[in-house]
Structure 1
Amino acid sequence: MSDVKFIVREPLLDPSQRVIGFQLSWQNNVKNAELDTSALSDLMSFVARELEDTEKGFLLGDSLIFLEAVPGLLQAEGLRHLSPKNTVLIFSKRYFGDEISLAAIKELRALGFGICLKNADISALERSFFSLITHFEVQLDSSNLTAQAKMYAALKQSNVQMVARNVGNWQDFDACAALGLSSFVGKLHLTPRPNIAQKGLNTTQTTILQLMEMIRKNADIQQLETVVKRDAALAYKLLRYINSAGFGLRTEVQSLKHAVTILGYSPLYRWLSLLLATASTSGNSPVLLETAIVRGRFAEILGQPFMSKTEAENLFVAGMFSLLDRLLGLPMEEVLTTIQLPEPVVEALVSRSGIYGPYLALAEACELNSMLVASLAETLKISTQDVNKAHLSALVWAKNIAAA
């Protein structure tokens, strides 16, 4: 794999706002650039190595991975190691007009891969294509939704799933959802839904903050247990997280005391930070919460080779809390007056400075098609390959946590 390519992800949401997949691509600021067969093959090989396990299978569960493709990839090494049922290959309409290319696409479909058609006019689509494609990419035209709705209703009679591209605001997402379309949401995954954001902390979050402060002051375990027992649902969720595949324990933790005995106080702090975000009752899109979890784990993995275990766990907290203002519907300054955090974490959250700031900034930049990624990685002396491995590893970890 070339040392100059960084992976970019774009979430795919179903009409109920659930994250059902991602498009993975190499960072590229040239719009409509010609697809490079070698680069696409490299991406497939890398994705297969990081997301496929010989024993566990596809590591992102039932999620779909969308990858740009060209017919010449049929013999690509990486393609043979991808899970066909979890992989959707995106082809431009022009390949369907060439007999040799169409034969290659048919073979890929026969192998079980999903086929997404783009750059096509839905009203002029040949009926013979409907048995070949699994997804159809549409460009939302919010000024002419009535006509679009009629076309999409006709397409619903087939088994083809429609996905909208470049959905830039929640109003357009709702329009797509009403039409039954899943949506690639670009930067929208970082934007809270308007008018429904929770203002301030709910009762459970107040309890979690109390626990975090007690841990910071090394309170006695019996005092911690007394507070946890006030909220049975909180205690249950905390133990589920600790026992999840994301933590990798070999022994099942039965109680808070047992967790502290095995893990100590520091890891408990990070799990409470995760609970603080997931306890939001704001009605925010699940994609915002998942992004916070991925960002926290991503930053932590990036920092692990360069700092102590406790410092790396603080990176996780910084990553999680970097979106807490949007999850809670409060300005970051107000969030920081409510939660007592170590000064280096505060520096990272406020100005992306200090020991943790650059790692958090790098994790953020990788969520977008940002040219800052290369310079940040170079400054931190982290290779392109290690950044990409950390990125996909964080996605897998977040999926395991979401399933807890």
Structure 2
Amino acid sequence: MNTHAKFEIYAVVAPGLELALRDEALELGFRKAKAAPGGVRFRGTWTDVRRANLELRGAAKILARIGSFRVTHLAQLDKLSREFDWARTLRADVPVRVEVTCKRSKIYHAGAATERIERAIAEEFGAPIDKDAQVVVKARIEEDTCTLSVDTSGELLHKRGHKVAVGKAPMRENMAALFLRQCAFDGSEPVLDPMCGSGTFVIEAAEIAKGLQPGRSRGFAFEQLTTFDLDAFNALKTEPQATDQTLKFYGSDRNAGAVEMSAANAARAGIGDVTMFRQCGASEIERPDGPPGLVIVNPPYGGRIGDKKALFALYGSLGRTLSDRFKGWRVGIVTNEASLANSTGLRFKPTKPPVSHGGIKITLYQTDPIE
């Protein structure tokens, strides 16, 4: 097997964040990464697949393309699936599941197509089919071409392996990382989240500052493939970089349970020494000593928690507190309604496209440094 052969790698991301993920991929050295609907594509080797899972903060999944063929009817799909060289990627002793999508093709019944591919894998290759398998073969049948990919991540990549406790409506870690990126955060300034919930923004910011790889504490589906090389994977893991020990990351929440949860999550992530959490309402936050930085917050919004009308006062109070106490700091607010954001009284820059989060369209509203 040629381990240096290049193939297409596709990093999945929430629609609306493709350009931010592309910028991260390019920054990490994934050359010629291009934004595509719902993700970013680039060419690379299995080493790049492993590195993308380990290092890309913004991705939800990493898919590796393992082959494609023209197909116009189910009998042909059955035949070509039986002839496909599954052994090049899959292991016969590891359970597999198959997911099929059909679009603008003569084969339009995804369930029937799934059945054919599953049977081919089980009967010709010998791998067990299991609806709960971590290794997933994804077949996209579009315009009569079947493209086969394997999901190399397994569990979604926002599950970093540190957060045991989560709040009522958590921001996913990969989305938080890309919102921090859109706010031009690079790890060199303090960050404060006055409604921190389970601490996602604060923890992601501290990890970025320390140069910690997001996937360092978890397993991946690619470890169950024939292409896996444990020594090569371990060689990709890096040590945290030396950082300015005076740089701190702050979270607060009016809920004592959220503060306790955030501190425990930060300790598990290994960044307890640079994070500080306290219990207080959003209007009681104080500007930390030291240089200005970024306030980033994902407040409650109408479609998510509580009644929107009751939230205008909360946003207004937050805006006044930031205007009064956080001169020189930039602000990023993630919400689903322009009217809620505007009720802060802050002056926002033009917004980027909305992002789909749990069925709700959310937008990042950013300010220049508060004067």
Larger relative strand fraction = 2
For CA contacts below 8 A with separation 6 or more, give which structure has more relative contact order.
1
Q: Give the alignment's TM-score, normalised by structure 2.
A: 0.30
Larger relative helix fraction = 1
Q: Give the alignment's TM-score, normalised by structure 1.
A: 0.29
